[in-house]
Amino acid sequence: MQPPTESRLQSVLKMRERTVLRVLGLGFLMVMLLLGVAGLIAARDSSAIRRDAGQLASEQLLMARLLHEVMAEQNALTQVLHRVADPSAAPPDRVAILAELEAADAAVHSLTQEAMAEGRDWGELHDEVERFTTQVRQFLDRKKQPPDLEETRSLFLRHTAVVQRVDGLLEESSERLSGANGLLESESRKLERESSLLLGACLLLALACAVGTIIFAARSIRHIEWQAEELNRVSWQMLQSQEVAARRFSHELHDELGQSLAAARASLSKLGVADLEPSRADCLHLIDGAISNVRELSQLLRPVILDDFGLEAGLGFLTDKFAQRTRLAVAFEADAPGRFHE
């Protein structure tokens, strides 16, 4: 059976070991949780950046194609204007010009519908082109050769409005591209900032857990060393107490019980018929003394009164026996509430 102090020390060591494991587990769990959150945020922002970049590239490709076709239609309308308004040129082919105007109207209408499907409002471009082609048709229907200055000026103004609208679409496309690039840069900076913060938090938490673990382990080691020293001291005291008890027990057996039994043996060996009664009384006295010594040794090793009546009665018994042996006046007082649990 282990001593109570050693058993208590082992329980304390196990408790501290469980505490250290809990602290380490909690610290590593928090670090892994922060790393997981950082990874999720990085994956989310990266996915958003890739999605926005892909959408931006798709929109720019579409806008580039649409603007290229618009510029082609603008060039076609410019050629029609010069063929109609140039007084030095040959008379224009009315049927060919009307066919070109119809093709331009259809192309611009198709481009406008496609742009509106992508969320772009090209209605003004369609209206300007339609006004220009309508005025050209009206001019061709009057069959005036050559056109007067006012009509030529009006045609060029209409064409200028178409050109300005195309330039406006180009400028809007550039602004949208610049805004999209700014948004991508902002999201990239946000991702970098959040990732840096989370990684910094992970490093700080890991450092705090490491420092806390080192401090806790150092304190635990010092406490364990102190408890080990206490255990050694208590064990040494227990060994000394056992040695003192064994020495006293040996002394009592040799000096008290051994002498009493030796005297009884000597009395019995010299016993004759005539000396039977006096020797009988002497032997009984020696045997009674030996029995008393055995009982006293038993009481010193483990008082029966301690088991039967508790600590207070046992201490009172030891006080009385000490007073009898030393003939000193000893008073014992106790205010214990009752028997203690073993």
| Angle (nearest 5°) at CA 77 between 72 and 82 | 125
282 domain-assigned: no
337 domain-assigned: no
Distance CA 298, CA 278 (A): 31
What pLDDT, on a 0 to 100 scale, did the predictor assign at position 326? 83
What pLDDT, on a 0 to 100 scale, did the predictor assign at position 256? 66
Residue 342 scores a pLDDT above 60: no
Residue 204 scores a pLDDT above 60: yes
What pLDDT, on a 0 to 100 scale, did the predictor assign at position 2? 45
Q: What is the pLDDT of residues 68-126, one digit of tens each?
A: 666 666 666 666 666 665 555 555 556 676 676 677 667 666 766 666 665 566 666 66
Distance CA 38, CA 34 (A): 6
45 domain-assigned: yes
The CATH number linked to 207 is: 1.20.1330
| Angle (nearest 5°) at CA 65 between 60 and 66 | 95
* 190 contacts: CB under 8 Å, gap ≥ 6: 45
Residue 234 scores a pLDDT above 80: yes
Cβ–Cβ < 8 Å for 81, 101: no
Q: What is the pLDDT of residues 163-179, one digit of tens each?
A: 677 677 667 777 777 77
What pLDDT, on a 0 to 100 scale, did the predictor assign at position 309? 73
Integer angstrom CA distances of residue 136 from 49, 81, 111, 206: 48, 8, 21, 78
Residue 289 scores a pLDDT above 70: yes
76 domain-assigned: yes
For residue 34, what are the domain limits?
4-218
CA atoms within 13 A on the CB side of 55: 12
Percent of the chain with pLDDT strictly greater than 70 = 47
Count of domains for the chain: 1
265 domain-assigned: no
Closest Cα partner for 213 from 16, 12, 27? 27
46 domain-assigned: yes
109 domain-assigned: yes
Q: What is the pLDDT of residues 103-114, one digit of tens each?
A: 766 766 676 666
Query: Can you tell me which residue has the tokens 């060919």?
Result: 96
Is the peptide bond prior to 147 cis by the omega test (within 30 degrees of 0)? Answer: no
142 domain-assigned: yes
Take residue 206 and report the two structure tokens written for it. 């890991």
Query: Can you tell me which residue has the tokens 């060994």?
Result: 239
